[in-house]
Amino acid sequence: MSSAAPAQALPAPMPLVAWRCHVALLVLLLTNFFTFAGRQVVAVLLEPIKLEFGVSDSALGLVAGVMFALLYGLLCIPAGRLADRVNRRWLIAIGMATWALATMACGWASGFWTLVLFRLLVSFSETGVTPPSFALIPDYYPLHQRNQAISIYLAGSALGSLAALAVGAWIANRYGWRAVFLSIGGPALVVSMLVAILVPEPGRATPGKAAEAKPVAPASIQRVLWRLWRQPAVHWLVLGAGLSTFIGMAYIMWLPTFLVRNHGLSLQQAGVFVAIIGTASSLIGGLSSSAVGKRLLRINPRWTLGTPIVAMAICVVASIAVFAWPSDLRVSLFGLAMPQALLWGIPVGFASAMWMPTVFTTMSIVVPADQRALGNGLLALSNTWIGFGLGPLAVGVLSDLLLPAFGSGNLRVALMITMLTGLLALYCFLRASRAPGAAH
């Protein structure tokens, strides 16, 4: 009987190994750092990849998002279900090791479609890393600490983006774009070993059930998914997350290229400026998400999802300003002439990082504890297919279509149109905040 006590005591932190929860969170942050750096670094590699392989902007959109997202989206639901039923530590460790090898393989691509194939391998392996991590963290911490814990985990995204844009641009400029993939994959192998050693597998937040050990037929999985999707809070959260990621990935993937084409910056200058302005503000925004949410709840108790609602409003206005601002206006940053338009990137970065912790925390509340990874899988599916897959591609296709009418300004107009999608995300979060069960 005593052996069941720890499982029943959750979701409070495991008392005998509370410090291990914090160490594990740090290691999981590192996995998020590298997986996001691997995604984000493509933003500073689009131009050199285009020059080497001679492909169109639409084809670049495939590399930047849609091909990666296609496979990831197909697998994240089964991966989430698997994470609800197996040892999550080993799933993350194996997924991270495979991800590292696949990322290094991108640096050895002999042609454009070979690169696409290796990106698909990266996508396949990442499904074993991110959904299980989101399911694991709530089992380390009680409810009142989860938002902050998830914010810390998601800080890895901002740090990974910072490294990808600044360091990745420098490596690409000095050693070529292939060296960038190799420099990311190698250290990621070490992180996979740290996961195996330092990340404990806690009991689930609800007492284990004998039924959990039994295989689940595909029809049962479909019924579980349907029950989850029928909850208004779930489907509005999923749609809002996907649309938020849509504008976020469109913005960050094409911003360096926009600065090169429309502001006359070098690739390295664009990467450094975007890293300093956008990514640093994203880190601050993500870590302050919990405090902002509490303040909004004090103003209006019904605003459970007030943080993502306000964040999307800021993102739409500020991101359009980034692309609409005159190209000839400059401001000095560390002695360098930076486009004044990037000052609008500060509120964009801050706000774009604030919505995600609240959304994932709310999802962990509205779904049963033994279906948490599946709920996170739905979020990952939406983020990947709608956001990561279609966001960069939509900009590339719009840019090609607008070329005859706008000439060299085609990318600017395409990005401004795409940013308006954030209004739909705002509406979805507003509906989710009014759904039953969404209150924290």
How long, in residues, is the chain?
440
**What are the DSSP E strand ranges found in 295-357?**
330-333, 336-339
**Which pLDDT belongs to residue 401?**
94
Buried b (16+ CB within 10 A) or exposed e, 72-89: bbbbbbebbbbbbeeebb
Structure tokens at 53: 């392989």
Amino acid making up residue 229? W
Residues of the chain with pLDDT under 50: 1-16, 206-219
**Which pLDDT belongs to residue 4?**
40
**Which pLDDT belongs to residue 71?**
80
Strand partners, 337: 332
**Which pLDDT belongs to residue 104?**
96
354, 356, 277, 351: which is closest to 315 by C-alpha? Answer: 351
CA–CA–CA angle 295, 275, 186 (5° rounding): 110
Q: Say how far apart CA 97 and CA 35 lie, in whole Å.
A: 11
Q: What is the CA radius of gyration of the chain?
A: 21
403, 429, 412: which is closest to 251 by C-alpha? Answer: 412
193, 191, 224: which is closest to 84 by C-alpha? Answer: 224
Q: Which residues contact 190 (CB under 8 A, 6 or more apart)?
A: none
Phi, psi (degrees; rounded to nearest 5) at 338: -100, 140
* Number of other residues whose CB lies within 10 A of the CB of residue 404: 8
**Ramachandran category for residue 176: left, alpha or beta (phi over 0 → left; psi -120 to 50 → alpha):** left
Q: Say how far apart CA 311 and CA 291 lie, in whole Å.
A: 14
Query: In 3-state terms, the chain is what percent helix, strand and coil (to 5)?
Result: 80, 0, 15
* Number of other residues whose CB lies within 10 A of the CB of residue 165: 27
Phi, psi (degrees; rounded to nearest 5) at 127: -65, -20
Q: Say how far apart CA 420 and CA 320 lie, in whole Å.
A: 8
What's the sign of the alpha-carbon dihedral 67, 68, 71, 72? negative
Q: Say how far apart CA 272 and CA 50 lie, in whole Å.
A: 21
Q: What is the DSSP letter of 207?
A: -
**Which pLDDT belongs to residue 216?**
43
69 and 124 Cβ atoms separated by less than 8 Å? no
**Which pLDDT belongs to residue 74?**
81
Q: Say how far apart CA 163 and CA 183 lie, in whole Å.
A: 11
Q: Say how far apart CA 122 and CA 98 lie, in whole Å.
A: 8
227, 231, 248: which is closest to 383 by C-alpha? Answer: 248
Q: Which residues contact 153 (CB under 8 A, 6 or more apart)?
A: 25, 28, 29, 32, 133, 134, 137
> Which residue is it, tokens 């691997």?
38
Q: Say how far apart CA 80 and CA 32 lie, in whole Å.
A: 16
Concatenate the DSSP letters of all residues of 288-304 into one string.
THHHHHHHHHHH-TT-T
- CATH T-level topology, domain 15-200+219-433: Growth Hormone; Chain: A; (1.20.1250)
Q: Say how far apart CA 288 and CA 14 lie, in whole Å.
A: 26
Domain chopping of the chain, boundaries? 15-200+219-433
Q: Say how far apart CA 43 and CA 255 lie, in whole Å.
A: 8
Q: How far is CA 15 from CA 9, 88, 103, 110, 139, in A?
A: 9, 20, 38, 52, 12
